[in-house]
Structure 1
């Protein structure tokens, strides 16, 4: 008897209204956003109520859902006004709120009945008993702690029918599910109330401290100043395991990342899910293309987090970078004239006549070309365009669509660290 696999949603980050629309256009089944209160990304472009309404309307019209992160840990007084805020979210038809603090969960349940509540990864859920506890309180989904293994995912799925949401791509916190006070100590910014300064990503000095003598800085004498910075998570090769083990939502981290990042990563994970559900052979056929595509966006090195083993020094940012992206985001397509095969693009980075570029769009569409007939919007011929957000026109060999993105190859910047004459491999 053939096992019927459930299609997991691809859940993408949306730090701004622009990113929300890009994520939905590039295949996200759902997006998560932040409001102007109760979230953990105070520096993201958090949504005003009017922007939320516009984003919800845009997503719902295209069959996608919108979740709001309200996952801060409240101190005395922080919860003031939460009931009214949750009611406002419910009434504007937000699909769910993502919460970690029991006080906010209680307020959302009692003051905004009918509003769906998901448990944030900040609550560190690592076993099925925890799932069942939150189910008793009315929650419908739990976002797994990043420390959960794939074997534990399988066991949780067997023992509970609560929806499982799991991170599949993006930054890894050095502390247990984000429960960190390093930022509070180092910069007086509360990580659990939205102000994390990512102190773990800083470079630190090392000191020699002989007994009874003045300490001496070893700066310049040691090869590495990073102490705690982890590589990013990437589960693109392991989508079959997540689907087979019944994960309901594949979550991509990165509300502060660019539209280039959001569009590329969403496109890849959507293509991976579609391919595997069509057939394992189809997934295997495109797997390397997916890996190569993900390396076209700015990110740290990649690994699989805690899913298969405990991270070692290879999952930390020590030594020379073993691999870096080769491409930069240079433009997005605004319109296309099929009669003249001319694309109007909005520039995001410096462009030159003759640059090697790649167009890509939703549905994992790609083609490469060179910039030809570069003109300003007024029709003036130019050979260099240095001004961001300027409208330009170029001739293209294939049809493109509004919303397609344009990359340029940064030749010469690839940096594969050599050890004993051989390239070190990067686990993905």
Structure 2
């Protein structure tokens, strides 16, 4: 390991207990989840206390931590019961709560002593004076606002020793640190109390409105309707900057994303941290592979957010996509019999005889194969196509795979829709 460099925590999202286990298996040092109160993802698979207890036990056995997001903005009455709720989290062994509202912070500190508090990105911490303020209130960590630049991050680190958590991957909010009321107006769902309907990602018409005349729609004169939708953040190529500037936790967004996403992104960022701490040369040697891997699960195009300047119109989703994933998640390995080189897989999407598939596992392992001798696990009946989700199947493989490995199918979409000149192309993967 390079001298004097602290290993940052890879912090992954976990919208369900299954995703929690997958994230940890694939390299996450910690996960953050939501409970059934006080969070901002009402549609995520939020955890019951029983599920939290199981998740904490699973994480502890593997040297990982579980944090709970309690980052809603409270209106009158929303804080009722918070003290008991925080005490329960503490007693379950939750490593910290992520909070933005000063009322909830005060209740947690007073009524659940011993439960560490992290300041949520919703609080828009953008300077070291703010971090020092929260340190004096007893908080252990601050999640920086996503609007902080790398230059500002470096300056913040020089002036405070409180732990810094910073986003490195996932969706960007068009509003400042997620504090938006667009959803409230458009769908009567309060974004700051867990109900965001992502109105910014809807399509909107544009109007030409000359002074003193009736407005006219410009429909058909532009490639698509207007939206405020931002591309996703990806800092995988800039992990050296995050490590060198003393970031304590690299945060991945996406509690509502799939196990395909969670496993891939946790795997990639763990590999990136390991490689850079070994040496800059080791990181450079695998950097392109890391980027390619992330594109296999990219939901939108990728950019670096505000880290290296204010995003331009190129960081917004206008027109046809320039690139989309080439792979589709199709299953996971349940068991592998080395004597027969047969894998038992649980199918998630349609898989067919002859499909080219890729197995990937923790530690950035990859095995490519074609689907050969596809059959039903229960009866051994040979089939040409398996369309039923969660069905157990058998396939023969030339190489060993491990239980828990995920399976992708290649050639599942359109790629590189624009060349460098901006001319539209259609290329099937």
If the length of structure 2 is used for normalisation, what is the TM-score?
A: 0.96
* Residue 169 (structure 1) aligned with residue 169 (structure 2): yes
Secondary structure of 1:334's partner?
strand
Q: How many Å separate the matches in 1 of 2:10 and 2:415? A: 30
Structure 2 residue aligned with 1:267 = 267
Aligned residue for 1:397? 398
Could you say which residue in structure 1 is the equivalent of 2:147?
147
For the residues of structure 1 that align with 2:10 and 2:84, how far apart are their CA atoms?
A: 30
Partner residue, 1:231: 231
Q: Distance in 2 between matches of 1:412 and 1:146?
A: 31
Determine if contact 1:226/1:317 at 8 Å carries over to the other structure: no
Match of 1:102 in 2: 102
C-alpha distance 419-277 of structure 1, shift in aligned 2 (>3 A): closer
Partner of 1:344: 344
- The 2-side partners of 1:100 and 1:317 are apart by 29
Q: Deviations over 1:29-68 (max 9, x none)?
A: 0000000000000000000010000000000110000000
Could you tell me how far 1:201 is from its partner in structure 2? 0.4
Q: Structure 1: which 4+ aligned runs deviate by more than 4 Å?
A: 210-214, 421-424
**Structure 1 residue 422 displacement after superposition:** 7.0
Query: Counterpart in 2 of 1:299?
Result: 299
**Given that residues 201 and 226 in structure 1 are in contact (C-alpha distance below 8 angstroms), is that contact kept between their aligned partners in structure 2?**
no
- Aligned equivalents of 2:328, 2:420: Cα separation in 1: 28
3-state SS of 1:343 partner: strand
Q: Report if aligned partners of 2:367, 2:401 keep a CA contact under 8 Å in 1.
A: no
CA contact (8 A) 2:342 2:395 kept: yes
Report how far residue 423 of structure 1 moved: 8.8
5+ residue gaps, structure 2, are none
User: What is the aligned partner in structure 2 of residue 126 from structure 1?
Assistant: 126
The one-character-per-residue Cα deviations of 1:343-369 (angstroms, maximum 9, x if unpaired) are 000000001000000000000000111
Contact 1:146 1:167 in 2 (8 A): yes
Task: Report what 1:358 is aligned to.
Answer: 358
Q: Secondary structure at the match of 2:167?
A: strand
Measured against aligned partners, the alpha-carbon deviations of 1:269-309 in whole angstroms (never above 9, x if no partner) come to: 00000000011100000000000000111410000000011
Post-superposition CA distance 1:154-203 (Å, at most 9, x none): 11111101000000000000001001101001111000000000011000
Asked if 2 retains the 8 angstrom alpha-carbon contact of 1:332 and 1:404, the reply is: yes
Counterpart Cα distance in 1 of 2:37 and 2:319: 39
Distance (whole Å) between structure 1 residues aligned to residue 386 and residue 310 of structure 2:
47
Counterpart of 2:419?
A: 418
What is the distance in 1 between the residues matched to 2:191 and 2:305? Answer: 21
Question: Cα gap change, 1:423/1:219 in structure 2, threshold over 3 Å: closer, same or farther?
Answer: closer
Please give the secondary structure, in 1, of the residue aligned with 2:186: helix
2:372 counterpart SS class? coil
Cα RMSD between the aligned structures? 1.4
Q: How does 1:68-217 map to 2 (within 5 A)?
A: 68-211=68-211, 213-217=213-217
Offset of residue 221 of structure 1? 2.6
Q: Distance in 1 between matches of 2:388 and 2:214?
A: 52
Aligned length: 423
Query: TM-score, normalising length from structure 1?
Result: 0.97
* Distance in structure 2 (CA, Å) of the matches to 1:222 and 1:421: 15
Cα distance in structure 1, aligned partners of 2:326 and 2:112 = 48
Confirm or deny: 8 A CA contact 2:323 2:414 kept in the other structure. Answer: no
Q: Give the CA deviation at 1:218.
A: 2.5
Query: Which residue in the other structure is 1:41 paired with?
Result: 41
Post-superposition offset of 1:8:
0.2
Q: Report the CA distance between 1:324 and its aligned residue.
A: 0.6
Name 1:253's counterpart in structure 2.
253
SS of equivalent residue, structure 1 residue 39:
coil
1:10-49 pair list within 5 angstroms? 10-49=10-49
Q: Name the SS for the 1:277 alignment partner.
A: helix
Q: Unpaired runs of 5+ in structure 1?
A: none
What does residue 383 of structure 2 align with?
382
Which piece of structure 1 moves more, 341-350 or 226-235? 226-235
Cα 1:117/1:384, change in 2 over 3 Å: same
C-alpha contact 2:327 2:413 (8 A) present in aligned 1: no
Aligned mates of 1:325, 1:412 — CA distance in 2: 6
Seen in structure 2, the aligned counterparts of structure 1 residues 423 and 244 have a Cα distance that, compared at 3 Å, is: farther
SS of 2:12's equivalent in the other structure is strand
Partner of 1:54: 54
